[in-house]
Amino acid sequence: MYITIVGGGFGGVKTALELAKESTNQITLITDKPDFQYYPALYGAATGRSHLESWVPLTTIFNGKKNVTIQYDTIETIDPLAKILSGKSGQTYAYETCVMALGTVTTYFGIQGLETYSYGIKSAGEIEKLKQHIYTDVAEGRGVDKRYIVIGAGPTGVELAAALGSYLKKLSKHLRVKDSTMHVALVEAAPRVLPRMSEKASAKVLRRLEKLGVKVQTGKTVESATEDLITVSGELMTSDTIIWTSGVANHPFYKANADNFEFAPNGRIVVDSHMQTKNGVYVIGDNAATQFTGLAQTALHDAIYVAKHLERVANGQPLMDYTAVMPPVVVPVGAFWAVFEWRKIHITGVVAAMIRRAADFIGYSDILPIGQVFGIWRPHRVWHDEPKLSPVEAKE
Ligand SMILES: Cc1cc2nc3c(=O)[nH]c(=O)nc-3n(C[C@H](O)[C@H](O)[C@H](O)COP(=O)(O)OP(=O)(O)OC[C@H]3O[C@@H](n4cnc5c(N)ncnc54)[C@H](O)[C@@H]3O)c2cc1C
């Protein structure tokens, strides 16, 4: 089989790894970045941990896989009739079977000033910018109180706000900044934190955040932002740093190629029971309008399904329908504390934190050879003194 996969994230990489097990398969992975980003650990790189925990060069992942070719390009258009993809580089790629896993992009919902004055945490570049900013802000902030506002109390915002409080304290101590106070606020439009988890989980996480010194404001909407002020539900708040963790939208590639795809009300792509779109392209991960889309574990599940499905098609075996599987959710809230929820199981505290560590180990081993998993999984505490590395430099 000749398979072209677009997107080197959870879905694309896992599909390629699964298909590469069969030596007669020839896989081309087209992606716009040289590294795989392990998003769940990305915020850690801005709060005292190393970038080495959150991004891995694709060449490491596919080392020794002779039937996988990696092409670096940004795919801009698709012609499903001619079966051709076109890249930003001007190159075209003919495909036989195409699997798309482009992930999502950040959206600011048109909130005035937010794109300009907030920090993002979705890419290595954004994380590097935030990390440098925090360092300078703390180092130069002697005698001045500092206000950090994290917007969005989904899993990413909660994890970040919780980690930020203790990191700022440690960084101040490290830099011998004794005379300024760090304030961390978490603002959420929904009536409670972690609105997609149970009320019980929300209540416990709220208490934990408050214990960590995070000022939580729920039911509040961000209306606009300037360099040092943010308007939240009509109220002006001073802020030195705004971090935007809300708002993801489906990848703009699909809108740019709208004739070729059918859109679900949430902007994701409608796929059939084999994860195929109306034009025969497979769409998986965050791009697909499946029940549990938006989670890394769903993207991995989709990848395994599609790889098996393609093998069945090639071997003339009976086809099986895709079934959505509810993944467990584990959100760390500061050191040695997390909340775990799956169906009726609900665990908080240190046990949940251990489950999260185990889940990360499994997450890395889904992508990396087992021999390399421990190296990336073990905590790499580096503070800010770590040399500034771009993801490209980091792989060398
Ligand atoms: C900060 C953060 C924390 C998260 N934490 C968790 C968590 O704890 N647990 C969990 O389950 N999920 C988490 N998620 C969600 C999870 O990361 C996503 O669901 C998952 O990455 C989706 O996989 P994907 O393959 O669809 O997309 P991605 O993993 O985003 O991969 C998309 C890939 O496509 C590439 N690409 C994009 N456009 C193009 C183009 N035009 N041409 C070529 N290549 C392109 C990108 O560079 C990227 O490599 C988190 C997400 C974020 C942002």
Summarised one tens digit per residue, pLDDT across range 60-99 is: 999 999 999 999 999 999 999 999 999 999 999 999 999 9
**Can you give the chain as a three-state secondary structure string?**
CEEEEECCCHHHHHHHHHHHCCCCCEEEEEECCCEEECHHHHHHHHCCECHHHCEEEHHHHCCCCCCEEEEECCEEEEECCCCEEEECCCCEEECCEEEECCCEEECCCCCECHHHHEECCCCHHHHHHHHHHHHHHHHHCCCCCEEEEEECCCHHHHHHHHHHHHHHHHHHHHCCCCCCCEEEEEEECCCCCCCCCCHHHHHHHHHHHHHCCEEEEECCCEEEECCCEEEECCEEEECCEEEECCCEEECHHHHHCHHHCCECCCCCECCCCCCECCCCCEECHHHECCCCCCCHHHHHHHHHHHHHHHHHHHHCCCCCCCCCCCCCEEEECCCCCEEEEECCEEEEEHHHHHHHHHHHHHHHHHHCCHHHHHHHHCCCECHHHCCCCCHHHHCC
Q: Which atom of ligand 1 is nearest to the CA of 330?
A: 8
Q: What is the CA(37)–ligand 1 centre distance, in A?
A: 7
114-246+329-370: what fold? Answer: FAD/NAD(P)-binding domain (3.50.50)
Residues 218-253: tens digit of each pLDDT: 999 999 999 989 999 999 999 989 999 988 899 999
pLDDT, mean of residues 300-324: 97
The residues, ordered by sequence, that sit 6+ positions from 288 with a Cβ below 8 Å of its Cβ are 268, 269, 271, 275, 302
pLDDT, mean of residues 166-183: 83
Residues 252-272: tens digit of each pLDDT: 999 999 999 999 999 999 999
Mean pLDDT is lowest, of 141-150, 291-300, 306-315, 349-358, for 141-150
Residue 31 Cβ inside 6 Å of ligand 1? The answer reads yes
Residue extents of the structural domains in the chain: 2-32+73-106+248-315, 114-246+329-370
Q: What is the pTM of this model?
A: 0.92
Residue 159 Cβ inside 6 Å of ligand 1? The answer reads no
pLDDT of residue 395: 39
pLDDT, mean of residues 330-354: 94
Q: What is the CA(295)–ligand 1 centre distance, in A?
A: 8
Highest mean pLDDT among 10-14, 38-42, 361-365, 384-388: 10-14
Q: What is the CA(207)–ligand 1 centre distance, in A?
A: 30
pLDDT of residue 368: 85
pLDDT of residue 125: 85
pLDDT of residue 384: 54
Q: Which atom of ligand 1 is nearest to the CA of 295?
A: 19
- Residue bearing tokens 């970038």: 51
Which superfamily does 2-32+73-106+248-315 belong to?
Answer: FAD/NAD(P)-binding domain (3.50.50.60)
Instruction: Say yes or no to pLDDT of 17 above 80.
Output: yes
Residues 45/129, Cβ–Cβ less than 8 Å: no
Residues 153-162: tens digit of each pLDDT: 999 999 999 9
Note whether 2-32+73-106+248-315 and 114-246+329-370 share their fold.
yes
Q: Within a 13 Å sphere around the CA of 124, how many CA atoms are in the beta-carbon half?
A: 22
Q: What is the CA(124)–ligand 1 centre distance, in A?
A: 12
pLDDT of residue 200: 94
pLDDT of residue 388: 52
Q: Which atom of ligand 1 is nearest to the CA of 10?
A: 25
Averaged pLDDT of the chain: 91
Residues 62/70, Cβ–Cβ less than 8 Å: yes
